[in-house]
Amino acid sequence: MVVAAIVTLVAETFLRRKPLIKIVYNTAASATAVALAAMFYLTASGSYSISTFHVNPAGFLGAVVAYWVLLNGGIATAVSLSTGAELTET
Mean pLDDT over each residue of the chain, to the nearest integer: 89
pLDDT at residue 45 tops 80: no
Given CA atoms 44, 46, 50, 53 in this order, what sign does their dihedral have? negative
Candidates 27, 42, 40; CA nearest to 69 is 40
| Average confidence (pLDDT) over 14-40 | 94
Residues 6+ apart with CB under 8 A from 34: 1, 4, 67
Tell me the C-alpha distance between 56 and 85, whole Å.
39
Least confident segment among 6-10, 17-21, 34-38, 56-60 = 56-60
Q: What is the pLDDT of residue 55?
A: 80
Residues 6+ apart with CB under 8 A from 76: 87, 90
Q: In this structure, which amino acid lies at residue 30?
A: S
